[in-house]
Structure 1
Amino acid sequence: MGTETAAPPQPVVLPRVLGPVAALCVVVGSVIGSGIFLVPAGVANDVPFLGGIIAVWVIGGVFTTAGALTLAELGAMMPQAGGPYVYLREAYGKLPAFLFGWSELTVSRAGSMATLAAAFSRYFVQVVHPPAFISNEQVWQACAACSAIAVVTLINILGTRGGGGLQVVGTALKVGGVLSLIALPFVMGGGSVGNLAPVMPTRVDASIFTGIMAAMVGVLWAYDGWMNVTPLAEEIREPEKNIPRAMVFGMSALVAIYLAMTLAYHYVLPMAEIAAADEPEGGITKAVAAVYCKTLLGPSGVMAISMLVMCSTFISLNGNALTGPRSYFAMARDGLLPAWFDRVHPRFQTPANAILSQAIWAIGLTVLGTVLILVPPPSNSALPGFLTSAWTVLNKTPLYDILLTYVIFGANVFYLLAITSVFVLRRTRPELHRPYKTWGYPITPLIFVVASLVLLGDMLRNEQSRMQALVGGGLILLGIPAYYLLRRKPTAAESAA
């Protein structure tokens, strides 16, 4: 009786269950989170004239749109789970690709979830006050943030269709809410053209460039999420068509909405009042969106905007829970993470373990950020001076702001590498079918590359943001030893495949 050779194991493939509307809503719904409700105050504080404010939002929009148009080529060409991880693997090899996935888990994606959850909780505490046994509002905010992460994690473990459906419904609700805010002053008659002044600065000097660069960090956070559809490429029907369309239409809509919302804020509120809304001591009732609604609707406006931002950030949280884990799943499928990460739930057909891992670290970041706020640095400590100084600064910084720069620095390092992979793959893999090619190539990706380098350099130069950026960068570098420790040797069957 002859021996039979066992067939090599087939790689696990995720089912294509998402259509074009879901793909578009992943782009739009992931991007519109907390940023447009909070960031305009910081922009007005850094760039106190309307012309510069519009320029910052336009530049940020052009920058991210250039990246989206470039990434669409890669997503249509290689519609596999993991998105940028796949492109970096094909262009630069396994180690840079691993570092991207490592960065997603430890810095960018989990950090985005923690940042969004922090924004969610800032508004949540205005609607649901802490119970009697929780006297500290920061603790109550942390509980709300962790609970929000847990809920979206459960939804996405239970099914990709459920997570995608929530993204569609939630995106429709929050886009409708933002459009209502934009229309509000014209319906209520509460704005004035005089509030748009000053349009230009009273003097031109180096401080304008410094302010624009500082404002750009917040603006890019407001636009962050434009990459989110590509990790889902394996689960999108007709990805060669639906990924480029989602990127192009999604970014066009987002830039228009953000500009209109910013102009509406300035039409209703004087420049000084918007800039004052950047003060953390004022609480969420002093946030620019809350001041805007209170001016037009009275005290009930604060409750209305709290509900809208809670909905908006929750849907953005869902977008991150839906998309990020696909990178860890793809890494494990390539043998770069333990096999635990690429296990698909037998009933729900989702990468449940990867989704859960991301949520655990996001909750850990939330708890750590809260501890830094609640626990002051020891007065007599053996800690190095720079660590004590950094702890002192973080102790006085809101959780949302602690996480913001930490996320943006790490994310942009790998956004930059992912975009440059289009140059490499056009040279090394010209035979690959490209159903969509980047508009304006090579100028379009070069715009993104140059802007990324300027932004990263400025973040390292700026003392206020340097520590969070270096912490994020340090975690990325820890991925080098992690690569050699975590990758697993292929089995005999896998080697035969």
Structure 2
Amino acid sequence: MPPTPLAVSRPDLVRGIRRWDFVALIVNITIGAGILGLPSKIYALVGAYSLVAYVASAAIVAGIILCFAEVSSRFNGTGGPYLYARQTFGPLVGFEVGWMLWISRLASFAALCNLFVDYAAYFWPSVGAGVGRAALMAAIISGLTVVNLVGVRTASRVNNLFTVSKLLALVFFTGVGLFFVDWQAFSFAVAPTYAGFSGAVLLLIFTFSGFDVAAIPAGEIEQPQRNVPFALFTAIATVALLFLLVQVVCIGTLPGLATSQRPLANASEQFMGPAGAAFIAGAAMLTALGTLNALMLTGPRLLFALAEQGQIPAFFGALHPRFRTPHVALLVSAALKLVLAISGTFIYALTLSTIIRLGYFALTCAALPVLRRRHPAQPAPFQVWGGGAVAVACVALCLWLLSNSAANEARDVGVAAVAGLGLYFLSNRRKSSSTG
């Protein structure tokens, strides 16, 4: 008999996300905006050793994914890292993870929405600022809200379409570009500095993030205890190979890579002519839009999960009577995303999201040995060989990454965390008063 999951989902949620739907979701979230700009920044830091940095960062992320895979295999409810932290470390820590994770999703969505509009302005300059910019953002958010409101199957089908289109665009870039690569451009004669190489790995760790968020809607995934680990490994292997090939093409076709602001567009122009820049601008819009759809699917489920556990008002856990989707959480999240998108900036929001992610990466990795000791007679369906050592190493890595965070952004994340604590204790006081 298979082990009983530590937390189960509500029976009225529709398990409409199948195995390959889930693989597509993770790929879609992970292939975000970073790959469109990072090749030049990584090359400026470590030159051709950027290829080694990609391999090193993928290996580090694989260790974190191993911890996520084992911990997630014990659960089949909605919430992802929030659910793991709550069951392992208690309701207070769980609430903080859920609260901060939701904030990070809002910030990530707002950042990507700004990026989409910036690239759209390449074709339609009127949407680059002012009323046109706000109108386009409103149209994007409204459209994605409707898609995700009418049902999780519809949202996953749209996600699949974006993922396939995005992959085809990047595969076309690498497939054509590899024929034009100048292999003499790859020089490994001068070893990179420690600071340069570690800085490159840090940037790439951020780029590989996304797998963690995809576990949030596990309550709507078919056989999550099997499909979550499978999807995590399949997706990250696909993404790592694609990122590595993109870097190879950029190094081998663009002589001024280190100073390029739009490396893929500039590289495309080298081997596809003037149409190359337009092609990449379109691909960037497609990439951003696909990731926005994935974030619209996963983010509101955090509010739903917090309400499901009784840590925020119950109406956030309401399901639409016809579509069986968490419509209140979806609409509230959409409204806040619109406000943040119009008023926010790309870099600041992205940095906040990254710092928050490092925190719950560490907590999820730390949960692995804790759950093993707590449930010795109930092993996880998926077990990591040497899991305790892997978890310790990953926690240490996350703490090291956090120690290199910018002071201003770290401060603001702390302010948001304290605000969450205030909401938590206020909700508990009201709950106690109503039962007193």
TM-score by length of 2: 0.91
Kindly tell me: are residues 362 and 216 of structure 1, through their superposed partners in 2, closer, same or farther at Cα, counting changes over 3 Å? Answer: farther
- Give 1:262's match in structure 2, choosing from 231, 247, 263: 247
Are 2:194 and 1:201 equivalent residues in the alignment?
no
8 Å contact from structure 2 (residues 369, 387) kept in 1: no
Q: Which residue of 1 aligns with 2:367?
A: 421
Matched, 1:123 2:65: no
Tell me which residue corresponds to 1:297: 272
Provide closer, same or farther for how the CA distance between residues 50 and 142 of structure 1 changes in structure 2, counting only shifts above 3 A: farther
Report Cα offsets for 1:103-141 as digits up to 9, x if no partner. Answer: 0222x111111122222222111122206xxxx637655
Q: In the alignment, is residue 137 of structure 1 matched against residue 129 of structure 2?
A: yes
In 2, the alpha carbon distance for the partners of 1:453 and 1:116 equals: 26
Distance between the aligned counterparts of 2:401 and 2:130, measured in 1? 31
Structure 1 distance, partners of 2:221, 2:372, is: 24
8 Å Cα contact 1:105/1:361 also seen in 2: no
Say whether 1:277 aligns with 2:267: no
Contact 2:266–2:277 (8 Å) recurs in 1: yes
Residue from 279, 288, 312 that aligns with 1:313: 288
Aligned to 1:467: 408
1:190 to 171, 174, 180: 180
Bigger Rg, which one: 1
Going from structure 1 to structure 2, the CA distance change for 1:141 and 1:308 (only over 3 Å counts) comes to same
* 1:6 corresponding residue in structure 2: none
User: Any conservation in 2 of the 1:325–1:355 contact (CA below 8 Å)?
Assistant: yes
| 1:155 and 2:144 are equivalent in the alignment | no
- Retained in 1: the 8 A contact 2:105–2:295? yes
Contact 1:77 1:432 in 2 (8 A): no
Mapped contact 1:114–1:363 kept (Cα < 8 A): yes
User: Cα 1:74–1:490, aligned 2, differ >3 Å: closer, same or farther?
Assistant: farther
Partner SS state of residue 241, structure 1: helix
TM-score w.r.t. length of structure 1:
0.81
Contact 1:294 / 1:300 at 8 angstroms: preserved in 2?
A: yes
- Pair 1:109–1:217, CA change in 2 (3 A): farther
Residues 23 and 490 (structure 1), Cα distance of their counterparts in 2 relative to 1, 3 Å cut: farther
**8 A Cα contact 2:145 2:331, kept in partner:** yes
Identity %: 25
Structure 1 residues 352-391: aligned runs within 5 Å: 352-369=327-344
String of CA shifts for 1:184-217, please: whole Å, max 9, x gaps. 124xx432112223x2436x6xxx3333343344
SS in 2 for 1:436: coil
| Counterpart position of 1:211 | 196
8 Å contact 1:335–1:489 — kept in the other structure? no
Distance 1:321 1:220 in 2: 23
Residue in 1 that maps onto 2:54? 57
Task: Return the alpha-carbon distance in structure 2 between the equivalents of residues 443 and 144 of structure 1.
Answer: 49
User: Residue deviations 1:399-432, cap 9 Å, x none?
Assistant: 3222221211112111211221112111112343
8 Å CA contact retained: 1:116, 1:317: yes
* One-letter amino acid of the structure 1 residue matched with residue 186 of structure 2: L
Q: CA deviation at 1:80?
A: 0.4
Between the aligned partners of 1:126 and 1:234, the Cα distance in structure 2 is 40
Match of 1:402 in 2: 348
Distance of 2:85 and 2:12 partners within structure 1: 20
State which of 489, 493, 496 in structure 1 corresponds to 2:431.
489
Aligned 1:236-251 pairs, distance under 5 A: 236-251=221-236
CA-atom RMSD, angstroms?
A: 2.3
Partner residue of 1:30? 29
Partner of residue 68 from structure 1, selected from 49, 65, 68: 65
CA contact (8 A) 1:114 1:145 kept: no
Q: Distance in 2 between matches of 1:64 and 1:126?
A: 34
Task: State the Cα deviation string for residues 354-405 of structure 1 (Å, max 9, x = none).
Answer: 1222222222322332xxxxxxxxxxxxxxxxxxxxxxxxxxxxx3222221
Contact 2:137–2:342 (8 Å) recurs in 1: no
Query: Per-residue deviation at 1:219?
Result: 1.7
Report the counterpart of residue 396 of structure 2 in structure 1: 450
1:63, 1:447 within 8 Å by CA — same for their partners in 2?
Answer: no
Deviations 1:311-340 (A, max 9, x none): 111111111111122221111011101112
User: Which deviates more, 443-452 or 137-146?
Assistant: 137-146
Paired position in structure 2 for 1:91? 88
Provide the rounded CA distance (Å) in 2 between the counterparts of 1:138 and 1:196: 44
Note the C-alpha offset of 1:433.
Answer: 5.0
Q: SS of the counterpart of 1:229?
A: helix
Cα-to-partner distance string for 1:42-62 (whole Å, 9 max, x where unaligned):
2223x13212x1232222212
The residue number in structure 2 matching 1:349 is 324
Distance (Å, rounded) in 1 between the aligned partners of 2:108 and 2:131? 20
Going from structure 1 to structure 2, the CA distance change for 1:432 and 1:489 (only over 3 Å counts) comes to: farther
Gaps of 5+ in 1: 1-9, 279-286, 370-398, 460-464
Correspondence for 2:384: 438
Q: SS state of the match for residue 237, structure 2?
A: helix
Superposed displacement of residue 291, structure 1: 0.6
Q: Does 1:234 align with 2:219?
A: yes
CA distance in 1, matches of 2:121, 2:31: 21
For the residues of structure 2 that align with 1:445 and 1:146, how far apart are their CA atoms? 42
Deviating more after overlay: 321-330 vs 141-150: 141-150
Asked if residue 82 in structure 1 is aligned to residue 65 in structure 2, the reply is no
Q: Is 2:422 the partner of 1:476?
A: no
Q: Distance in 1 between matches of 2:433 and 2:230?
A: 40
Q: Is the 8 A contact 1:146 1:366 kept in 2?
A: no
CA contact (8 A) 2:109 2:341 kept: no
Conserved 8 A contact 1:410-1:476: no
Q: Secondary structure at the match of 1:77?
A: coil
| Distance in structure 1 (CA, Å) of the matches to 2:362 and 2:132 | 37
- TM-superposed CA distance for 1:345, in Å, is 0.7
